[in-house]
Copies of this chain bind each other. A is one copy, B any other.
């Protein structure tokens, strides 16, 4: 806090005139990060190309964000952070990212590319991306395993599994 205040060129207690406490400040940072994240996803999904290509772009954008702003990504999903229920703006920003995901899956379904519950399918891909990234960032992967290869293989297998029959 004192460092932050100094970086802002202001006295240690000044931020407290604008935020309730440290958690509120971090919640604002989290919300801003989720907004940047949602923007990156929206841009990727809106790019030209067929639905499958745009899905790849979305996945790439997801990973690129996490690796470009690891601190932000960490904070966004940090289990030690207070639940976002207490911070409406944060809830909203997180929901926005989820909606982007779901909307794109819906588009793929309407294109006949895939079938099933769009929100569930979106969450399936999300889980894979997040899982690999978390294991990668916490240094839990075996030294023999290349994160990019793992991610590609898992997304590939999951896609194939979904193409056969919907979950």
Contact = CB atoms under 8 A, between A and B. Distances in A.
A134 B167 contact: no
Interface in A21-67: none
Nearest to A154: B124
A71 to B, nearest CB: 10
A151 B94 CA distance: 21
Describe A's contact surface by its main secondary structure.
Answer: helix
Contacts of A157: 124, 158, 161-162, 167
A137 interface: yes
Size class of the A contact interface (CB-based, 8 Å): 35 or more
A17 interface: no
Contacts of A128: 127-128, 131, 154
Contact of A120 (B134, B137, B153): B153
B131 A145 contact: no
A78 interface: yes
Nearest to A146: B120
Contacts of A135: 77, 123, 126-127, 130
Contacts of A137: 79
A79 B71 CA distance: 10
Interface of A: 74, 77-81, 83-85, 94-95, 98, 102, 119-120, 123-124, 126-132, 134-135, 137-142, 144-145, 149-151, 153-154, 156-162, 164-165, 167
